[in-house]
A and B are shown apart, each in its own frame.
Chain A
Amino acid sequence: EVQLVESGGGLVQPGGSLRLSCAASGFTFNNYAMSWVRQAPGKGLEWVSTICGSDSNTYYVDSVRGRFTISRDDSKNTLYLQMDSPRAEDTAVYYCAKGGRGSCYSAGDYWGQGTLVTVSS
């Protein structure tokens, strides 16, 4: 059974740092693209970043490029999102999602329960 469990959310000050983690199980982690998608309170879904499975290429939405870094540790089956210099508008529930095998461009077929990040002083 595929499971994705996010952790690391919480309250962070503007300009601070926070690292989110997503522990994966139930599939061969290194073969699959993984993404972060966020949802601000009462709002819709926004794709944040994807890391490919095969070559670990990374992609970001413009609003976080240069501030957030996606990475993966295939030995630990874990996905990360390093959030540097967060802003109030980054406040959201952050979901990790499993993508396709062998392709970075794919739908998210499994999602975690999400972790809430609140950026406030």
Chain B
Amino acid sequence: DFVMTQSPDSLAVSLGERATIHCKSSQSVLYSSNNKNYLAWYQQRPGQPPKLLISWASTRESGVPDRFSGSGSGTDFTLTISSLQAEDVAVYYCQQYYSTPLTFGGGTRVEIK
């Protein structure tokens, strides 16, 4: 199974500052035949279902603010919130969909400092 390891477990960032979350996969999620990374990022606000922010490691979903960006390839990935807003308080998860069982990272809680 692919083990997804997120860091840190939690972080507190001042409004307007940058938040950076890391996700490391135990195996590469880069599919060589199409050169795509099968890696997604989700946001889960308190009491809400998860919301897809980014797929294919760096493709922002429609309607997602451009302060959210994803980067990385192979086994190491990053979600960056360039200027933290109050509504970004949430838990963020990475997920690989390269192989079953599809697996999630343990989550990173983002709070306001």
Binding site for B on A (CB under 8 A): 35, 37, 44-47, 50, 59-62, 95, 97, 105-114
Given A47-B101, A62-B101, decide whether A108 and B106 contact each other with a Cβ distance below 8 A: no
Task: Give chain B residues whose Cβ lies under 8 Å from the Cβ of A62.
Answer: 101
Binding site for A on B (CB under 8 A): 38, 40, 42, 44, 49-52, 55, 61, 91, 93, 95, 97-107
Q: Number of residue pairs across A and B with beta carbons under 8 Å?
A: 59
Assess whether B52 is in contact with A113, with CB atoms less than 8 Å apart.
no
Assess whether A107 is in contact with B49, with CB atoms less than 8 Å apart.
no
Smallest distance from the beta carbon of B7 to chain A beta carbons, Å? 14
Assess whether B107 is in contact with A95, with CB atoms less than 8 Å apart.
no
Assess whether B100 is in contact with A107, with CB atoms less than 8 Å apart.
no
Assess whether B49 is in contact with A47, with CB atoms less than 8 Å apart.
no
Smallest distance from the beta carbon of A32 to chain B beta carbons, Å? 14
Secondary structure of the B side of the interface? loop
Q: Which residue of B lies closest to A111 (CB)?
A: B49
Assess whether A111 is in contact with B104, with CB atoms less than 8 Å apart.
no
Assess whether A108 is in contact with B93, with CB atoms less than 8 Å apart.
no
A50 to B95, CA, bound (A): 14
Assess whether B49 is in contact with A112, with CB atoms less than 8 Å apart.
yes
Assess whether B51 is in contact with A45, with CB atoms less than 8 Å apart.
no
Q: Which residue of A lies closest to B40 (CB)?
A: A107
A44 to B95, CA, bound (A): 11
